[in-house]
Amino acid sequence: MSQGDMRRGEMRRLACLFLLLSLLPAAAPADERRSGSDFMSAETRAMQKDDTANPAMLWVQDGAALWSRKPSAEGKACADCHGDAATSMKGVAARYPAFDAEQRRPVDLATRINICREKHQGAEPFAAESDSLLGLTAWLGLQSRGQPITPDPDPRAEPFREAGRRLYEQRIGQLNFSCAQCHDDNAGKRLAGSVIPEAHPTGYPIYRLEWQGMGSLQRRLRNCMTGVRAEPFAYGAAEMIELELFLMSRAAGMTVETPGVRP
């Protein structure tokens, strides 16, 4: 069988799976929002809740070390400016993405870390999805665990949030599906044996069992885009930040679970 035949067969299987969703019961009302962890097995939920069993805590520990480490002999550590993260960073991750006046656009927490590295530490930015960036982002996210998600109220962020909403509802890819069709219309149903969550980003960065490693919300979004046979946006792209901004707005008031574990 040729590669073209294999790709066409895979696309037909995916299209059939999506079609089957319409035959299943309707999802729960939108005002009964649930975190992705609610759809996991009891064993995976227990893994997330137990810091001694949660594999994401390995990255968190590395992030804690980076917080206190100077990037160079002349540079400053994060702690030199911000002090104890448990105090100074409490609730911060729950407010990102946030509008940055100098950038004239919203930035996510990972971008904020890299801005600080260049501007205040004189260091090279971390690479997207690097263990260092994921670890430090997860460490900061941990300081907001249990806090309510509080989207940035800056009115300058509103046009970007609206752009994210349009992206969420836009059909994309060869399968012609939108985020909303899966995560609003069919949340709680099953696709290829897995429950479709409601797309509330409560636990990122997450340790995903499928990945056997950590990943950001943008990595998960890229997975979804390739799943519907669309060209994914690059890490850090404006469209990624806009979509993340909208998703956090949908999750307003829900509890931060970072670092999360997902199947």
> Which residue, among 219, 225, 186, has the nearest Cα to 23 in the 3D structure?
186
Residue tagged 């893994």 (tokens):
47
Give the chain's domains with CATH numbers.
41-263 (1.10.760.10)
Q: Is the dihedral of CA 110, 31, 44, 16 positive or negative?
A: negative
List of long-range contacts for 118-127, beta carbons under 8 Å, 24+ apart = 120/76, 120/81, 121/71, 121/75, 121/76, 121/77, 121/78, 122/71, 122/72, 122/74, 122/75, 123/71, 123/72, 123/75
Question: How far is it between the farthest Cα atoms of the chain?
Answer: 63
Helix segments in the chain, DSSP class H: 3-21, 42-49, 57-68, 78-82, 85-88, 109-120, 131-142, 158-169, 179-183, 217-227, 238-250
Catalytic residue IDs: 224
Short-list 27, 33, 48, 29, CA closest to 249: 33
Q: Which amino acid is at 197?
A: P
Which amino acid is it at 205?
Answer: P
DSSP characters over 203-242? S-SEEETTTTEEE-HHHHHHHHHHHTT-PPPPTT-HHHHH
Phi first, then psi: give them for residue 11, nearest 5 degrees: -65, -40
Q: pLDDT per position in the chain (263 positions), as tens?
A: 455 554 555 545 454 444 444 333 334 444 589 999 999 999 999 999 999 999 999 999 999 999 999 999 889 999 999 999 999 999 999 999 999 999 999 999 999 999 999 999 999 999 999 999 999 999 999 999 999 999 999 999 999 999 999 999 999 999 999 999 999 999 999 888 889 999 999 999 999 999 999 999 999 999 999 999 999 999 999 999 999 999 999 999 999 999 999 99
CA angle 106, 61, 95 (to 5 degrees): 25
- Is residue 136 a contact partner of residue 113, using CB atoms and an 8 Å limit? yes
pTM over 0.75: yes
89: which 2 tokens? 């960073």
